[in-house]
């Protein structure tokens, strides 16, 4: 049934849905982890509030970016190849991982994160379909 829905729903809708969900999850993660990190750094008052707000934004943006790149790549590949298989997920995970690691400007990091995100994406796809 899901295959039928993906063929009908536009890629832009899938991407927006993914970005909103993962941005929210990332912001919640930042909101939960930032106070702990601020306490470890000894921040209090306005400096602590500023640190928490920046962390929420940073985690939300990063998670939204990964979700957007992944969903766009996967949906585009699926439409181009006219197949819904794990190769789409593998390539989309690699592209999303490389997009996140690109700001490190280290090819070692880019390749490592691309492989890691790709592997986790395929593992999630396999566990979801079985």
Task: Check if the beta carbon of residue 72 is closer than 8 Å to that of residue 94.
Answer: no
pTM value is: 0.82
Q: Which residue has the higher pLDDT, 91 or 5?
A: 91
Rounded to the nearest integer, the mean pLDDT of the chain is 88
**Overall average pLDDT of the 42-65 stretch:** 93
In this prediction, residue 1 has a pLDDT band, given cuts at 50, 70 and 90, of very low
**Residue-wise pLDDT tens digits, 75-106:** 999 888 888 888 898 999 999 999 888 888 88
Would you state the torsion angle of the CA atoms of residues 24, 121, 97, 111, taken in this order, to the nearest 10 degrees? 160
Sign, CA torsion 83/87/93/94: negative
Quick one: tokens of 44?
């209090």
Question: Is 50 exceeded by the pLDDT of residue 42?
Answer: yes
7: pLDDT strictly greater than 80? no
Q: Given a cut of 80, is residue 116 above it in pLDDT?
A: yes
Contact (CB, 8 A) for 15 and 72: yes
* Domain residue spans of the chain: 11-129
Confidence of residue 2 (pLDDT cuts 50, 70, 90): low
Query: What span, in angstroms and rounded, lies between the C-alpha atoms of 13 and 106?
Result: 33
**Hey, CA dihedral for 75, 125, 117, 29, is it positive or negative?**
positive
> With 80 as the cut, is the pLDDT of residue 43 above it?
yes
């Amino acid at each position: 049934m899901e295959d039928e829905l993906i063929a009908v729903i536009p890629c832009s809708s899938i991407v927006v849905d993914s970005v909103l969900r993962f941005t929210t999850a990332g912001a919640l993660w930042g909101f939960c982890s930032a106070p702990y990190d601020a306490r470890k750094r000894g921040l209090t008052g306005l400096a602590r509030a500023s640190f928490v707000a920046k962390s929420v934004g940073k985690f939300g943006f990063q998670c939204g970016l990964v979700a957007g790149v992944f969903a766009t790549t996967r949906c585009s590949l699926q439409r181009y190849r006219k197949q819904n298989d794990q190769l789409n997920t593998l390539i989309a995970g690699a592209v999303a991982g490389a997009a996140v690691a690109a700001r490190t400007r280290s090819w070692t990091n880019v390749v490592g994160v691309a492989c890691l995100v790709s592997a986790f994406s395929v593992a999630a796809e396999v566990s979801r379909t079985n």
